[in-house]
Amino acid sequence: MEKWGCSVCGYIYDPEIGDPENGIRRGTDFDDLSDDWVCPDCGADKENFDIAE
């Protein structure tokens, strides 16, 4: 599973960690996040994320 980075603030979504503060369990692939999921740091929409290198 690939990591995804927020182009607004630099937050990295790592599927091995998930987003537990927002109910996203570890092992959840970025593509499986709901369309209304937002960056937990800055609130940017999912469309503002790109694959992190």
pLDDT tens-digit series, residues 8-37: 999 999 999 999 999 999 999 999 999 999
The answer to whether residue 1 scores a pLDDT higher than 90 is no
State yes or no: 9 annotated in a binding site: yes
pTM for the full model?
0.93
Quick one: pLDDT at residue 47? 97
Rounded Cα distance, 2 and 51, in Å: 7
Quick one: pLDDT at residue 53? 79
Collapse the DSSP code of 4 into the 3-class scheme (helix H, G, I; strand E, B; otherwise coil) and give the result: strand
Report all structural domains of the chain as residue ranges with CATH numbers, in order of start: 4-46 (2.20.28.10)
State yes or no: 50 annotated in a binding site: no
| Extended strands (E) in 1-53 | 4-6, 12-13, 49-51
Q: Token pair of 20, please?
A: 């537990």
Write down the residue that tokens 């709901």 correspond to: 34
State yes or no: 6 annotated in a binding site: yes
Q: How far is CA 19 from the centre of its chain?
A: 7
